[in-house]
Amino acid sequence: MSAADGTVAPELRRYAALDQRLLAAVRGIRILPTVAWPASLEDRMIADYASGRFALPQVSYARPDLSAARAELAAIELAAAEGAQVDPLGDYLRRTAESWRIAAEMLESVGTAGVTAPSIALYGRPDDIIPGSQRSNLDAARYFVELSDELGADLLADDSCVNVPADALRGDLAATLDEFFGAGTINVEVDPELTAKAAAGATRIRLRGGASFSEYDRHQLLAHEAFVHSLTALNGRRQPLLASLARTSPRVTATQEGLAVFAELMSGAIDITRLKRISLRILAIDMALGGADFVEVYKYFSACGQNAADSFHSAQRVFRGVPLGGGAAFAKDNVYLSGLLTVHTFFRLALKQRRMDLLRHLFAGKLTLHDVIALQPHFESGAILPPRWLPPWMQHVHGLAGKLAFSVFINGIQLNRVQGNELLASV
């Protein structure tokens, strides 16, 4: 059976109908917009903090009523579970509906400490153990921060001081994306209200107005936002069976962000300072959960070398949607490093098992690593289409295989057993 012509086989129509119900149910669940802070507040507070005038920001949120969505999602979970033992599509829909229901519960608690538990259920804790390891995400974060500090400023990128205005970068990215995806497929816009430095959807990439970008930023935006987030959304839109593959459900966030940071790594678009920034956010989530308030977390980022604006934005990411007095956190930034490490392990494992098809299928839509394996029968039948677009680094499979093969082998060399003088004597 093939879905290449856009039709869905009769035995799968039940799942397609549940998928459409799912998309309708989650239409009003908007996670980041609900917990976002207004840019005007940030600008004022950054100026105060830069001058040493510290006070907890006064942030208010519009708390949504998502009770109808939660009830519908619970019904979809129940209906999907009935087929979960028969077809992996049922389990996919059940897991997806459950994650959206948890997200709805989280947003209905916005402004309270009640956001913390569901955000951890969705995004994990800093002390979670990394799969295949005895160490935690927190251990990894400390390692990258310490390594960055030990290496010092000598390894800062040569172009780190090159500042490109958002408007100039917009034109440059637009030309690159038109060439790759086709003219007008993805619009690049400058958004003065955007909190993050950049954000991507299927057909739009936004840059924060007033921000300046380095050449490394440009490479990261292309590798991370365009060639993962936008690319997987566009591929997901082509799927005739599961339209939800075009939308990032909460349960796929860790894989999506991990894949996006892995793409930076494979593209040579990441440096040690970027890894430090990602890691500091995990340490800051741990601090907030341990009782640190917003000002203390801001000062932590500042003491680690970030300027006033970056320190404020970093602290703001940790405290989105929660009280600022300590003991609560929005855990989303936990997924960037844990996701990177898990995706890296998945790529190495797929190479070891000679399953490059699994890696390509990861770009067919918004999928988790579990989904890619579980849904293989539907990839093989053609019910789920292979990706129309692949990132540039995935199109050169020999180069990717070479990097991963080296990584698999080199992982077996334990540095703590290598003596420096012994190594020098051998070369």
- pLDDT score of 151: 81
CB atoms within 10 A of CB 408: 14
- pLDDT score of 132: 78
- pLDDT score of 408: 64
Q: What percent of the chain has pLDDT over 90?
A: 71
CB atoms within 10 A of CB 154: 5
Q: Which two tokens stand for residue 306?
A: 């970030």
- pLDDT score of 196: 75
pLDDT band at 387 (very low <50, low <70, confident <90, very high): very high
Mean pLDDT of 97-116: 98
Angle at 52 between CA 50 and CA 53, to 5 degrees: 105
pLDDT band at 232 (very low <50, low <70, confident <90, very high): very high
What is residue 136's DSSP assignment? B
Find out whether 269 and 216 touch, Cβ atoms under 8 Å: yes
3-state SS assignment for residue 242 = coil
Strand 212-213, strand 204-208: pairing: unpaired
- pLDDT score of 159: 44
Q: pLDDT tens, 353-372?
A: 889 899 999 999 999 999 99
Answer whether residue 161 shows pLDDT above 80: no
- pLDDT score of 133: 80
Mean pLDDT, the chain, as a whole number?
Answer: 89
- pLDDT score of 284: 98
Residues 356 and 350: their CA atoms lie apart, in Å, by 6
- pLDDT score of 395: 86
CB atoms within 10 A of CB 155: 11
Q: Which two tokens stand for residue 235?
A: 């591929």
Q: Containing H/E element for 320? A: none
More confident residue, 269 or 337: 337
Q: Which two tokens stand for residue 413?
A: 């060399």
pLDDT band at 423 (very low <50, low <70, confident <90, very high): very low
How many alpha carbons lie under 13 Å from residue 51 in its C-beta half-sphere? 8
Q: What percent of the chain has pLDDT over 70?
A: 91
Mean pLDDT of 141-154: 83
**Identity of the amino acid at 352:** K
Three-class HEC string of 378-394: HHHHCCCCCCCCCCHHH
Q: pLDDT tens, 84-101?
A: 677 999 999 999 999 999
pTM of the model: 0.90
Q: CA 379, 385, 391, 394 torsion: positive or negative?
A: positive
Residues 77 and 298: their CA atoms lie apart, in Å, by 40
Residues 244 and 237: their CA atoms lie apart, in Å, by 8
Mean pLDDT of 75-85: 88
Answer whether residue 415 shows pLDDT above 60: no
Residues 236 and 233: their CA atoms lie apart, in Å, by 5
- pLDDT score of 162: 62
